[in-house]
Structure 1
Amino acid sequence: MKRYRSAFTLVELLVVIAIIGVLVGLLLPAVQAAREAARRMSCSNNFKQIGLGIHNYHSAYKGLPVHGTGTDRPAGQQIYAGDSNGTSINRRGSFLISVLPFIEQQALWEQISNPLNVKADGSSKNPPWQAMGPGVARLDYGPWATNIPTFRCPSDPGTGLPSLGRTNYAACTGDSSVMSREGTVFVHKVSSGATMPYTANNQQQAERSRMVHRGMFILNTKMKFRDTLDGLSNTVMCGEIATDLGDSDNRTSMPQNDSINDKAGHGRRECRKNPRYMDQFHDPERPQFWQSGANPSVLIGRGYRWHDAMHFFTQVHTILPPNSGICTGGRTSNDSMVTVSSRHQGGAHVLMGDGAVKFVTDSIEAGNSNTRMVSYHTSTPAPGSPSPYGLWGSLGTRANKEVIDEEF
């Protein structure tokens, strides 16, 4: 008598495989969503650590860490110059440098704040690097290329050259990008086009500064919590940013095509008139990317240098809604309008003045984005005027009597 072994038929096996495939297809999105939720929570925790570091710094030194700190610039050099200076950092150090000792990065802080006689490749340097480091783009200065986990969002995959140490967290300088490249060190004299330093005795210059420097951070200026008259819980102190991946993302890269940004700063001037000016250069089939031929800069990418205080690297403005494309003059020597962005779905985190971390959606009410921004060139609006950019703009201003009485 023959015995037959029981087994799946080919049809049954195919049915089982099909069922497994369907189940995997159903479960995979849920697994991915759970993993992204965990990454988003980790990102929020990193931001909270930075917020605690800022508050501890304020308790210790009676002021916020200066955004635009470090050794003074060489005589006659603008603050946005000197990327490769072998000695001075040119007062371009970001607020994140000063936060280092308060986020368990004391060893790195000691390297930066003291003379360092070691190059990035481990060889000795004589004479040593001076305290607070050299120019922000020096590859041979080891601390600048250090990646700090607390400064990175786990959802952002950016890594490696041409960036140095990346950051996903930046200082909020308000609802105007005017003079965000110079802060209170220099201001352009409207009548002659020349530059002059701000002085406490010059009423006209001081008024212009109040018109355009409306955020909790002002470049090269020591700010205090008491300066935030709208209340710390109503004011954005820092914002999340996505770092550039070299894929022509219009949120993270700077076009170099002269037809978009000519050398005279045409794009910069047009952006002041209309923050949506550069939307016309977005790819119509892929709105989040620049059109073909934009030729984004290889070396200038959003978040490429955690230690650099310039707008494109560690600043955000509350003008355009989260994850909008940037508006720029094409160089770091031109003001750039940069908003918060992230690799999360639907929005980005912000750090409020009181240390709370909130997730702001792309659809937050932002007024009329085509409205001309605050500019001393037009002397309007007057200092202390409400932001023209709705709820989003008012969250970025520190002293305009714009108190938020609802959850956002």
Structure 2
Amino acid sequence: NTHGTLWSAMILPFIEQGSLYQTLEFSEFRNWSTNGTPNETAAGTEIPVFRCPSLPIAAAYNNSGIPQRRPASYRGNGGNEVTSDDRSTIVVPGTKSFEHLNLNGIFYACSAVKFGMITDGTSNTFALGESRTEPEFVKDGQGMDFWYIGSPQVDPCRCTGSNNGTEFSEAAGSTYMPMNLRIRDPGAHGRLMELSFGSYHTGGAHFGMCDGSVQFVSENIDLTLYRNLGARDDGESASINP
């Protein structure tokens, strides 16, 4: 993350969006919601690759000061330790938040994960996961709103280890909790629902592996196996297809 820039912005040159990438202003703090800036324009630009055709919601929302903000179907894998965006609101004792800088996933605050750091194997580790985006649903103060390119609610972390949140869940999820938690356990805490991967497909969701392949994963997958697939270096070379 660089001044609110999300992982999806960094791959723009590789998905034939190089011209849009060139307009981004990485040095400007929180200009994602400043009227008329290139960053605000980028956050409202339709990029079909970031949206699953199954997504049954509006094409755009007026959200966080960004008119016509575009919802995303895919988030980065932040690992299997996270149960909250912020250190002060961790739901499960002994777990972590997205304000920690030493997570075991691929995408998180100030992450700089290289292929050599994925010691469990690139074919055994999630890079991206599908998410059941639902911006108008809120529980325990947490919205199921996921977006691409940039966010005015993610402060520059500057890699100091201090509290710099707050809404990393807009672009990253966790495999600590089961998939599709919002639907499968309506009584779960909203912070856990928010971080859960999932989809509008029947029975599971698509995940992009670190080797570039895509797998449809059943929502009934064993939770231990699912968590192992979310960690890049836990010593468990888990496989979806043993």
Give the shorter-chain TM-score range: 0.7 to 0.9
Amino acid in the other structure paired with 1:219: A
SS of 1:238 mapped into structure 2: strand
Q: 1:327·1:338 contact (CA, 8 Å) conserved in 2?
A: no
Shift in CA distance, 102/222, structure 1 to aligned 2, threshold 3 Å:
same
Q: 2:179–2:196: 8 Å Cα contact kept in structure 1?
A: yes
Deviation (angstroms), 1:180: 4.8
Q: What does the per-residue CA deviation read over 1:287-337, in whole Å, with 9 as the maximum and x for residues that have no partner?
A: xxxxxxxxxx6xx442145423633311110112211126345xxxxx986
Instruction: Give the counterpart of 1:177 among 79, 82, 106.
Output: 82
What's 2:205 paired with? 348
Q: Distance in 1 between matches of 2:44 and 2:175?
A: 29
1:93 alignment partner, SS class:
coil
> Aligned partners of 2:73, 2:111: CA distance in 1, in Å?
22
Match status 1:160 vs 2:60: yes
Question: Aligned runs of 1:251-400 on 2, under 5 Å?
Answer: 253-256=138-141, 300-308=143-151, 310-325=167-182, 327-328=189-190, 338-366=195-223, 390-400=224-234
Hey, which of these two has a bigger chunk of helix by percent?
A: 1
| C-alpha distance 327-338 of structure 1, shift in aligned 2 (>3 A) | farther
Structure 1 length-normalised TM: 0.45
Deviation string for 1:334-359 (max 9, x for gaps)? x9861111111111111111011001
Return closer, same or farther for 1:145/1:324 CA change in 2, 3 Å cut-off.
same
Distance 1:231 1:323, change over 3 A: same
CA positional deviation for 1:92 = 2.1
Distance in 1, Cα, partners of 2:133 & 2:83: 23
Q: Percent identity among equivalent residues?
A: 26
Question: What are the Cα deviations for residues 62-84 of structure 1, in whole angstroms up to 9, with x where unaligned?
Answer: xxxxxx12xxxxxxxxxxxxxxx
Aligned partner of 1:402: which letter? E
Matched, 1:218 2:117: no
Check the 8 A contact 2:84/2:195 in 1, yes or no.
Answer: no
Residue 146 to residue 181, structure 1, CA distance change in 2 (3 Å): farther
For residues 140 and 83 of structure 2, the distance between their equivalents in structure 1, rounded to whole angstroms, comes to 19
Conserved? CA contact 1:323–1:362, under 8 Å: yes
Match of 2:23 among 111, 127, 135: 111
Query: Which residue number corresponds to residue 26 of structure 1?
Result: none
SS in 2 for 1:162: strand
1:407 is aligned to 2:237: no
Kept in 2: contact 1:349–1:357 (CA 8 A): yes
2:119 alignment partner, one of 221, 229, 232: 229
Asked whether the equivalents of residues 80 and 105 of structure 2 are also in contact (C-alpha less than 8 Å), the reply is yes
Instruction: For CA contacts below 8 A with separation 6 or more, give which structure has more relative contact order.
Output: 2
Name which of 117, 123, 147 aligns with 2:46.
147
Note closer, same or farther for the CA distance 1:361–1:306 as it changes in structure 2 (3 Å cut). farther
8 Å contact kept, 2:135–2:145: no
Q: Aligned Cα RMSD in Å?
A: 2.9
Q: Structure 1: give runs of 5+ residues left out of the alignment.
A: 1-67, 70-90, 114-129, 183-197, 199-207, 257-296, 330-334, 367-389
Q: Report the CA distance shift for 1:139/1:348 in structure 2 as closer, same or farther (over 3 A).
A: farther
Structure 1: distance between partners of 2:7 and 2:135: 24
Per-residue CA deviations over 1:350-399 (Å, capped at 9, x if unaligned) read 11110110011110001xxxxxxxxxxxxxxxxxxxxxxx0010000111
CA–CA distance in structure 2, aligned partners of residues 216 and 391 of structure 1: 17
Q: Which has the larger radius of gyration?
A: 1
CA drift at 1:96:
0.7
* Contact 2:6-2:148 within 8 A present in 1 as well: no
Q: What SS does structure 2 have at the residue aligned with 1:358?
A: strand
The TM-score, its normalising length taken from structure 2, stands at: 0.73
Q: Is the 8 A contact 1:112 1:131 kept in 2?
A: no
Partner residue, 1:376: none
